[in-house]
Amino acid sequence: MLSQFVYNQKRRKNKRLLGELSDFPEGIMSVGRLDQDSEGLLFLTTDGKFSHHITSSGVEKEYWVQVDGIAREEDVEKLSQGLEISIYGKPYQTLACQVELMDPPQDLPKRAKDIRNENDHGVTSWLSITLTEGKFRQVRKMTAKVGLPTLRLIRYRIGEQTIEQMQAEDVIEMHL
């Protein structure tokens, strides 16, 4: 599913859009985006000030990231200190962030498309990465930069709101 309401390409190629989940009010927008291969929490709002606050005011976004290979403490250190990646072809220095090794999460919703089989393709590791920024494909570029390509990316938390107790495609109305 694409985290948008209008498809901007000429051909849709069987992509589902957010509007297919519910009868949302006019003027609704997503707060930030998730790329098509990512999953997890996404806020929707009709309040532009709220959207700006979440995307531009240092609100934490925590991602659970399954990476290819064994993540080591030195990888965690490099990621947490910030590193240079490319955003739209230009060098970008990421801000320092919180990075921790974690056990594989339990009770995640099953993916529509399976991640490869570890028995056939090698070991993977899980990281928790908490950012206060959100550049284009930033987490994927950061893990690749330290030699740990991202296999699965889940936005677990925005601010204090998490995906705990939620299932794929759940829509929960909240008034903040």
**Mean pLDDT for the chain overall:** 85
In sequence order, what are the residues at sequence separation of 6 or more whose Cβ sits closer than 8 angstroms to the Cβ of residue 49? none
H/E segment holding residue 140: helix 138-145
Cross-strand partners of 154: 39, 64
**Nearest Cα residue to 48 out of 29, 23, 76, 74:** 29
User: What amino acid positions are annotated as catalytic residues?
Assistant: 35
Write down the pTM of the prediction.
0.86
Express each pLDDT in 91-135 by its tens digit. Answer: 999 999 999 999 999 888 777 666 665 556 789 999 999 999 989
Which domains are assigned to the chain? 59-162 (3.30.70.1560)
Q: What is the pLDDT of residue 33?
A: 80
**pLDDT greater at residue 89 or residue 6:** 89
Higher pLDDT, 149 or 13: 149
Per-residue pLDDT at 153 = 95
- Exposed, middle or buried: residue 30 (CB in 10 Å: 0-12, 13-18, 19+)? middle
pLDDT value of residue 95: 96
- Counting residues of the chain whose pLDDT is more than 90, the rounded percentage is 49
35 pLDDT tier (thresholds 50, 70, 90): confident
What mean pLDDT comes out for the span 47-67? 92
Residue type, 31: V
Lowest mean pLDDT: which of 59-63, 104-108, 131-135, 152-156?
104-108
**100-103: long-range contacts (C-beta < 8 A, 24 or more apart)?**
100/76, 100/127, 100/128, 101/71, 101/73, 101/76, 101/125, 101/126, 101/127, 102/64, 102/126, 102/127, 102/128
Least confident of 48-52, 64-68, 139-143: 48-52
Alpha carbon separation from 145 to 16, 78, 91 (Å, rounded): 31, 10, 13
